[in-house]
Structure formats: C-alpha cells, structure tokens
Structure 1
Amino acid sequence: MLRRFIERLHEREGRRVFLAVLGGKTIAALLLCGAIYGLSNFVGTAHAEEAAAVAPYINPINTLWTLVAAFLVFFMQAGFMMLEAGFARGRETVNILLEGIVDTALCGILFWAFGFAFLFGSGNGFIGLQYFFLHGTPETYGATGIPILAFWLFQFAFADTCSTITSGAMVGRTGFWGDILYSIGVSGFIYPIIGHWAWGPDGWLAVAGFRDFAGSTVVHTIGGFVAIVGAIALGPRLGRKFKRDGGGMPPGHDMTIAAVGGVILWFGWYGFNPGSTLSAMDYIGMSRVAANTTLAAAAGALSALFFVYPRHKIWDTGFTVNGFLAGLVAITAPCYWVSPFGSIVIGAVAGVLVVVAFDFVEWLRIDDPIGAWAVHGANGVWGTLALGLFATGQFGVPGPTGPDTSTLVKGLFYGGGFAQLKLQLIGSGAVMLATVVVGFALMYAVKATGTLRVSEEGELMGLDLHEHGGFAYPEIMSPLGSVGSGHALMDPEDARAVVPVPAVKPS
C-alpha cells in the first residue's frame, strides 16, 4: 500500500489529488477549530467575570455527602435494568440491558452539553440559558458550598433516572434506533426544560412556592407520563391479549432479578431522597428524610400485598415490588416536610394506587409491561399532592448548614389551609399537561422516521436476536445451544436459521 502511494505521488495526477484532499481536510479542520473556539467564547465567558469576582466557599463535608449520594443514585441504573429485564420476556433481556447502558452514556454527554444549562442555568421562568458545556460556571452551585461538578454529577444521575423510567413501558417492541432518538429527546430537552420550572433558580413554579424535594414531579411524573405516551404511540406487543378480552399480562421471565433489582432501587433511594438535602450538616433533616423514605416503602409493599391477595388468594411478588417502589416515588416530594406517620399513610395509599392504576392501564388496552406509569406517573402525582396535605409546618427549607425556618411548609391536614395544596395542584397539572403534549410530539416524530417500532418479523424473532445478534441465555434460548451470545454478534440471516419466524402471530 505504501509503495503504491509513493508511486502515485510520482504521477502528476496523483500529486494533484493528494494535495486537493490534504488541502480540503486542512481547511475543514481549521474551520472546525474556529467554530469550537467561537462557540466556547459564546457560551463560556458571559458569567466568567462574575464567577471569578466572588471567592467561593467549599464545604468539604457537604461535598462528600453529595458525591456519595450521586453514586447511590447512579447505582439505581443497575436496579432499573434488573427490574425491567426480570419483568420482561427472556428474549428481550439484552435489549433492556444495552438500552440502559446507552441511555446512561447519552444522558451524560447531553447533560454536559446543554441539559444542565436548561435545568439549572438562570434564564427565565421556562428555560435556563447559561452554563452550556459547563462553561462560565461558578466554583460552587449557588450558596450550597458544593463544587459545581459535584452538583452536576448528582443531577446527572437524576436525569438518567427519568429517561430510564420511560423505557419501562416500551420494552419488547421498540427499535434500538428509536430508543436512542427518544432518549435524546427526554434527557436532552423534555426533562431539563420542564424540570427548570420547578427546580431552576428562576423557574416559574419554584418562584411561586411549589415544592418538590427530590423529584416526585420533576423526575417521576415526567418519566411516567412520557412512558405512557410512548406505550400508546407504539401500540401493544404482538399477541398481547388484555384482561378485558380474556387475557392478561405475560409473566416476567425472572422474578429473582426483578425483586433484587427492586431492592437495589430501594437502596439507591437513600441517595435520591436524603442526598437531596445537599448537606450532611443538616443531620436531623437528613435522618428524617431517610426514615420517612423507609416507612413509605414498607407501607407501600404491605398495602399492595394485602390489597391484591383477595383476588386469587395468592401472595403476589410483582405487585409487592411495585408497591414499595410506588411508596418510594410518592414520598420523594414530601419526605423533608412530613412526619413518620404521614409517610406511612402516603406509602400505604401508593401501594393501593399502583394496583388500581395498573388495572386502569390494562382496561384501556395500553401495554405497559413494567407498570412504569402506575408506579411513577400516578404515584408521582399522588406524592406531589400529598405534600400539600401532610406537610406538618414544623420544617423549613433545607440549607447548606441546616433548615431555614423562616419559611415553613404546612399542608391542609395540619392547619395550613389550601395554599400549598393549590400550588401543588397547579405545578403537577402543568407538568403533566406539558409532558403529555411534548411527549406525543416526540414519540410520533420518532415514529415518523420508521425507527420507533421494530418490524413484525423482528418482534416475533425477539429483540435480542434481531437487534443485537444474540441471547442473554444462549444455552436456554437458542436451539443450537452455544450459538449466539450477549457478546458474539450474529448476522440476521443466520438468526432466522436459528429461530425461524412463525408465519402466524402468536395468540
């Protein structure tokens, strides 16, 4: 190859082509460098002088606590992957695992580029307009005393959770390109822009006094309602027969990993909720949040278990797992401002609500294999409203060294009247409506590309084989034993030989 290249350089035409290609690539590289430099100046200097003018105070204890909490929330991705895979069919396990990994990687880059800016940058009541590509950021975020990158990492884990929730309602029939496209929409735009309303420094809901301590609205309501919109846009899985038509939800292939995944999520919630204090120095508030989180989850598990038992006189594992997850979702917004008794009531209601919501989705003939909307959407709304009912009025707003008691949060049942409940209703309703409208636009735009749903042939074959070339359990799933694995790709033509596609849809 080298000798041929030298020979071509001795030819006049060869030298002309070489110089033209070299010159073109050099010009392109210079233009790219110029664009990067100009973009860096555009997004990076607006607040640099302001950031440099104020000597930052770094609180090492709060920084360490925030980082530990970020690691716990990130570990929830393992729980989501196991939970979804266990509740789904064996032939789509690899698809779920890879989707979780790729979604996390995508979210990291998008949240660095503009997601964090949209969510936590100052701008207006609806969108943040600073800190793109993390340029121009101060040393710490606000008055937290936490380095901006530690705060970014913690919030990235939250953003990643929202998009993962969405995938739960869409397993079994979503094309991988479709997964990537809608994940970009959720992680890069829907979550941070709508989330800015409640959590941004100048978000219109935050300024009005709406409260969402750790994300019942911002994370779970958004994720849950995008999930149900995605399930509607996709339609049910082939052969899915609903309860009102004499069928029911296909059983999950591995309740062991589903239950363990659920418990991992419970464990990760101790980063989600107590970590949202952003302060280890608020040790009383942090302890209260952790205890309330535990009690709501426990109450949710038991209420779901006993609520379902009379149906068939069986102790249902799946609903019990979703019951404690529903309790965790519901307590996420009010956990800082309610009592242990209030937490138990909130969790117990959530455990019943998740079953009722699941039945409602089934009655509507919407195929949500994991129960994503029942757990996150319905109970995200319930938890948000529960704050306006059960906030005791004893606790202020969390700060870097402890609560600011000049602002107390009091709900209806504790003498606060309808003021806070009204704000919670407005905030939850606004977020729901915006999420549904923008979610439908996103999902049908992806659907228009032809990538949202796999072909009928691919779905019948199974996403693992069709999209990824191998099974998670090759010795069990493959008729040829060791043919096809989670790491050895198989050509689709070979896949058809391994698993012939039936001519008739399964019933």
Structure 2
Amino acid sequence: MSATKPRERHLSLSEKYSRLCTRLRDPEWRRYGGTLLSGKLLGVGVVLLFMLVVSGVFFTSVHAQSGPPEVKAADIVNPVNTMWTLVAAFLVFGMQVGFTMLEAGFCRSRETVNVLAECVVDTCLCGILFYAIGFAFMFSHGNGFIGHHWFFLQGAPATYESTGVAFLAVWIFQFAFADTCSTITSGAMIGRTGFVGDLLYSVCVTGFIYPIIGHWAWGPDGWLALMGSDGHFFQSLGIGFHDFAGSTVVHTIGGFIALAGAIVLGPRLGRKFKRDGGGPMLPHDLTIAVTGGLILWFGWYGFNPGSTLSAMDLVGIGRVAANTTLAACSAGLTSILYGYFKMKTWDASYTTNGFLAGLVAITCPCYWVSPTGSVLLGGIAGVLVIV
C-alpha cells in the first residue's frame, strides 16, 4: 500500500506578502529579483521595437507600391541580349573540344599529344593576348586599319557601342572567335611544326594578324566596314563589305595563314605522295574525328545565331539557325556522294569535312540568304572541299 503525499497548503495573500518582504531583506534575493525584472523589461522592449520596425517596413512597402515603378525597355532588353550573347559565347568556346578531337583523330597517333597540348595552350594564350591587345586592335575606335583604345580592357564603357550588350560579354564572345581562328591554323601545322613553333604562330595570329584584319571588316571605323558610305572607300558602290558571322574574318584568315604555313614549311614529315607510291595520310582514329566534327556543328549554333547579339531578333535567329543546318546537311550529302563517285567507297571522313565546309560557306551570308540558297551553297562547298 503506497503512502499518500501530504496535501500542500496554499498561502494566503498576507502570508505571500510577508514572505516577499522577508526575501527582499536578503541581498541575494534582491539581486535575483532585479535581474529577473530587468530581463522581462528588456524582452518587452525588444518585442515593441520589432513590431515598430515591421510595421514601418510594411507601411513603406505599401506606400512605395501605390504608384507602379517605371520600367524602361532597355532594362529588360539589354540583360536578355547580354545573356543570349554569353550563351552563344559558351557554345563557340565549346567548339575547342570539337577542334581538339577533330585534329587528334585525323592526325597520326604519334602527333596526338602535341595536338592536345597545342590546342589547350593556344586557348590560354589567346585569352591573355585578346585581353591585352587583340580586342583593342580589333574592336576599339582608331583609324581604318587598326584600333588603339581599351588595351588591357581599360577605359571601356559598360556596354559595347550601340548594342546595349555588356562590354565584357562581347569580349568573351569575340575571344571565342579569335580562338577559333587560331585553331583553324593549328590543324594545318600538325606534323610541320613543333610545340614551340605552334606557340609562335598562335601569338602572331591571335595578337596581331586576326585582330588587325578583323578590324577592317568588323571594327567601328574599319575601312571595309565603312566602304561604300559617304566620304569613304568606293563611295560609288553605295554598299559596304558584309560578313555576318565570319566566313572571311575568321575562317578565311585562318585558312590563308594555314596555306601560307603549308607552302613555306612543305609537306608533313613522312608524307609520301601518290607519285612516290604513297597517298593521303589516313586518320588514326576516325571515331574521335567524326565526333569532334559533330561537336563543331553543334557549336556553330552559337557561332552563327549568336552573331545577332540580340535575343530580340527572333525571326533573324530562326533564319540563321535554319540556314546553318541546311547548308551543313547539303554539304555532308554532296561530299560523301562525290567521294563515292571518285573513290568507289563510302568515306566518313569525306562527309565530316563536307559538312564542315558547308558550315564555313554559310557563315558569312547566313542572315541574308534563303533556305534554298543555303542548300545550294552547302552543296557546292561539300564538293569543292574534296575535289
């Protein structure tokens, strides 16, 4: 049987008051009571302050929204165009993966390591050179032949010219283009130059040759860009030089530099021509080469449509993308068909080089030609590349 607890007796009001007076005479209890009272008062003060701040914030917010804020079109359009330009720049930069795989696949196995090192270091060199002098030479104001502002990107405006696109976003986009031009050259130098030679021509291409010639066509005051206008070269023409995305400025410059290097340096080491009992040098890994070509095709959707620098040009972007696709498809078909007619074999290397030729051919006029025109251009390019 459990014992029951004694029932507690409730103190009367007078007894509670007497106990309080007794405790207040104790210094320890007075200190404890003062601390307790201070804490409660502080807590009440914090709650009141919080209520005041919250009510002020909500009151201010409602008051500010009583009239809708004015939003300018540029506040929306310029950020969207900047993002479009950056996405396109990332696609173009991704083409370096395609170039590396294409060159590594088509070269001889002994040259693969040099190709890999050259492509990576070339990109790094291009970034520094285009930051220091390349962009200034190509896209700043100067004279008809060369720009001379914005070295090391100093003194640049927030946005580039009248595009409304952030200046550094344009720099990223154009850096990817410059890197492409240099890499085009590197493909022809495989087996002809060593690693140091690769670095030397990379410096010349990305630091001087490409930016200076590019200024003529794409610079704000380049002589080709202003050709045909009042007071400039060939005023009687009434029309200037047009290259929408770089068939001339990027690919032709890179191609002519590659041709000059091949002429000066001669055949690749170990190359045997047909007259000597040899033939074309066969790719050591066609899988890598074809995959690299397809990656380049994908990157071209940043190269060509991205050159609008405007996500608002919906019709133009669609037309450019469609023309790019049709030219590549047409060139891929005509090249493999012509290759079969010529060699009596279906060769994947022919169609890979073919659709790349079609992409190069359509890059300049992709904004202006019709879909039918792009098919014709691509078809012709696909044959010419393997004739």
For the pair 1:329 / 2:360, whether they are aligned, the reply is yes
Q: Which residue of 265, 287, 303 corresponds with 2:318? A: 287
Q: Is contact 1:296–1:344 with CA below 8 Å preserved after alignment?
A: yes
Q: Which residue of 148, 162, 174 corresponds with 1:129? A: 148
Structure 1 segment 251-262 matched on structure 2, within 5 A? 251-262=282-293
Using the alignment, how far apart are the partners of 2:76 and 2:285 within structure 1? 49
Q: Secondary structure at the match of 2:226?
A: helix
Instruction: Give the match for residue 151 of structure 1.
Output: 170
CA-based RMSD of the aligned residues comes to: 1.3
Using the alignment, how far apart are the partners of 2:177 and 2:366 within structure 1? 17
Aligned residues with identical type, % of pairs:
72
Residue 80 of structure 1, CA deviation: 0.2
Using the alignment, how far apart are the partners of 1:351 and 1:313 within structure 2? 17
Q: Which of the two has higher C-alpha Rg?
A: 2
Using the alignment, how far apart are the partners of 2:170 and 2:287 within structure 1? 34
Using the alignment, how far apart are the partners of 1:98 and 1:118 within structure 2? 27
Using the alignment, how far apart are the partners of 2:119 and 2:270 within structure 1? 26
Q: Secondary structure at the match of 1:297?
A: helix
Structure 1 segment 387-398 matched on structure 2, within 5 A? none
Using the alignment, how far apart are the partners of 2:78 and 2:317 within structure 1? 17
Using the alignment, how far apart are the partners of 1:246 and 1:218 within structure 2? 39
For the pair 1:350 / 2:369, whether they are aligned, the reply is no
Residue 311 of structure 1, CA deviation: 2.2
Using the alignment, how far apart are the partners of 1:342 and 1:330 within structure 2? 11
Instruction: Give the match for residue 246 of structure 1.
Output: 277
Q: What per-residue deviation string (whole Å, max 9, x for no partner) do you get for residues 66-91 of structure 1?
A: 00000000000000000000000111
Residue 56 of structure 1, CA deviation: 9.8
Structure 1 segment 72-91 matched on structure 2, within 5 A? 72-91=91-110
Instruction: Give the match for residue 27 of structure 2.
Output: none
Instruction: Give the match for residue 329 of structure 2.
Output: 298
Q: Is contact 2:245–2:364 with CA below 8 Å preserved after alignment?
A: yes
Q: What per-residue deviation string (whole Å, max 9, x for no partner) do you get for residues 85-134 of structure 1?
A: 00001111111011000000000000000100000011011001111110
Structure 1 segment 28-427 matched on structure 2, within 5 A? 59-208=78-227, 209-356=240-387
Residue 244 of structure 1, CA deviation: 4.0
Residue 212 of structure 1, CA deviation: 0.1
Q: Is contact 1:58–1:140 with CA below 8 Å preserved after alignment?
A: no
> Which letter maps to 1:188?
G
Q: Is contact 2:77–2:312 with CA below 8 Å preserved after alignment?
A: no
State TM-score, norm by structure 2. 0.76
Residue 143 of structure 1, CA deviation: 1.0
Using the alignment, how far apart are the partners of 1:178 and 1:233 within structure 2? 13
Q: Secondary structure at the match of 2:329?
A: helix
Structure 1: 4+ residue segments shifted above 2 A: 55-58, 243-246
Q: Is contact 2:217–2:243 with CA below 8 Å preserved after alignment?
A: yes
* 1:105 to 1:310, Cα distance in 2 relative to 1, 3 A: same
Using the alignment, how far apart are the partners of 2:243 and 2:75 within structure 1? 27
Q: Is contact 1:198–1:218 with CA below 8 Å preserved after alignment?
A: yes
Residue 328 of structure 1, CA deviation: 0.1
> Which letter maps to 1:192?
P
Using the alignment, how far apart are the partners of 1:215 and 1:263 within structure 2? 19
Using the alignment, how far apart are the partners of 2:313 and 2:275 within structure 1? 51
Gaps of 5+ in 1: 1-54, 357-507
Instruction: Give the match for residue 496 of structure 1.
Output: none
Using the alignment, how far apart are the partners of 2:197 and 2:77 within structure 1? 42
Gaps of 5+ in 2: 1-73, 228-239
